[in-house]
Structure 1
Amino acid sequence: MKKFEEKTYEKETIYQGKIVRLEVDSVTLPDGNTSKRELIKHPGAVAVIALTDEGKLVVVEQYRKPMEKSMVEIPAGKLEPGESPEVCALRELEEETGYTTQKLEKITSFYTSPGFADEIVHLYFTDQLHRLEESPAGDEDEFVELMELSLEEAEEMEKEERIHDAKTAYALLFWKLRGQK
């Protein structure tokens, strides 16, 4: 038995959507008592820290309905069934920014909200960008504006809470620690 393991004895799917599934698991706790766990099941996602030749971070601004505001974020998106994270990262970079690359370096993977969701984000880095002659069509329900930011501009947006998500905050920390301009 794993330390602090909770044994599931019943699962109920409450909702199955296009992106997430909501489950309620009935579990036996390590002390023998029982409880319920509300869980969001997610296919996983990727995000790309992309720096231009001029040392600027490529980001997109888009409206985020859960927060009811526009946010500035690094390019990202969800994995399609059977798609590898690296293939997804390149696809999202191309669709959202019009850039491509021959070199994607895997930085890390992290769980976004392990208290209730299994979403994992695979984070990649590239500083070898090339403009596509023609950008592939993005998602039909996604409206984004491309921006390229200096570290100082990105830090200011973070203070203003225009950059306000974990993956982009992680990207800024990575960028600073890596010693990029």
Structure 2
Amino acid sequence: MYGVSLEHDMASMKEKKMKVPQIGEKQVVYENRYQRIYCVTADFGSFMKEYFVMETGQRSGVVVVHEGSVLLVRQYRLLIGRLSYEIPGGKIDDGETPETSAVRECLEETGVHCRNLRPLLFFHPGLDALHNPTYLFHTNEFVETSSEKIHTDEIEQHVWIPLTSCIEMVFNKEIIDSFSIIGLLAYHNLMSSQSNPFESAGERLNNISLNRDEFIE
């Protein structure tokens, strides 16, 4: 089961005598086929807070691994003005499960048809201003299909990069997409814990050669 229930959170707030805010009605201020932005007000009693929330639907992605290397795509991203290394993934369409969506996205972006996906992680990239529940999977089972299936207008190329190099790229700011960073670190932690269950996550990362001066700004 993913996450913690809203009922549990509300009960916890009441136990701590924290006032549960009164939430007003959603007022949609903008909407298109990809996203919806709405405004909502929360009344905390002593003050009011206005939220602008962007809903982009659910998304899923997959960490595909072959002989120690991870499948990444390179695509243009507006806010950085250049190509970005990312794991395959995208929006979950109506009627899809997170798993079938991840399979479809990977096939469209790379021509790789994944099989037997395993759950890796569930997370929310934001808890106030962005609603985009995200499911991540991992697999080492796949079949490479025709390159004709790849959406070349969206994806510049796909590459296989060793997992250790991917982790170094994260801390050297060569991989900066949060979706991919979370997936890669989660998978690296999973594999490391299986090989050495007594080593902490921090110790695993410290064993990677990183340029700390470049990482800290």
1:127 match: 140
Q: Once the 2 structures are TM-superposed, how far is the Cα of residue 144 of structure 1 from its aligned partner?
A: 3.0
Whose strand proportion is higher, 1 or 2?
1
Cα root mean square deviation, aligned: 2.3
1:59 match: 72
- Contact kept, 8 Å, 1:46 with 1:77, in 2: the verdict is yes
**More off after superposition, 104-113 vs 162-171:** 162-171
- Alignment coverage as a number of residue pairs: 178
1:101 match: 114
| Counterpart among 176, 183, 189 of residue 171 in structure 1 | 183
| Counterpart among 90, 110, 126 of residue 113 in structure 1 | 126
3-state SS of paired residue (2:24): strand
Identity across matched positions, percent: 23
| Counterpart among 33, 39, 42 of residue 18 in structure 1 | 33
2:47 match: 33
- Contact kept, 8 Å, 1:95 with 1:135, in 2: the verdict is no
Which string of whole-angstrom CA distances, capped at 9 and with x for unpartnered residues, describes residues 144-163 of structure 1? Answer: 31010012331342244220
3-state SS of paired residue (1:18): coil
Q: Once the 2 structures are TM-superposed, how far is the Cα of residue 114 of structure 1 from its aligned partner?
A: 1.4
Q: TM-score of the superposition, structure 1-length normalised?
A: 0.87
1:161 match: 173
Q: 2: CA distance between counterparts of 1:167 and 1:43?
A: 15
| Counterpart among 69, 78, 88 of residue 101 in structure 2 | 88
Q: Once the 2 structures are TM-superposed, how far is the Cα of residue 172 of structure 1 from its aligned partner?
A: 2.4
Q: Once the 2 structures are TM-superposed, how far is the Cα of residue 8 of structure 1 from its aligned partner?
A: 2.2
Q: Is it true that 1:145 corresponds to 2:157 in the alignment?
A: yes
Where relative contact order (Cα < 8 A, 6+ residues apart) is larger, the structure is 1
Q: TM-score of the superposition, structure 2-length normalised?
A: 0.73
Where does the alignment leave 5 or more consecutive residues of structure 1 unmatched? Answer: none
Q: Once the 2 structures are TM-superposed, how far is the Cα of residue 142 of structure 1 from its aligned partner?
A: 1.6
3-state SS of paired residue (1:51): strand
Q: 2: CA distance between counterparts of 1:120 and 1:45?
A: 6
Runs of 4+ residues over 6 Å off in structure 1 = none
Q: Once the 2 structures are TM-superposed, how far is the Cα of residue 100 of structure 1 from its aligned partner?
A: 1.1
Which one-letter code corresponds to 1:24 in the other structure? Answer: C
Q: Once the 2 structures are TM-superposed, how far is the Cα of residue 7 of structure 1 from its aligned partner?
A: 2.3
- Contact kept, 8 Å, 2:64 with 2:70, in 1: the verdict is yes
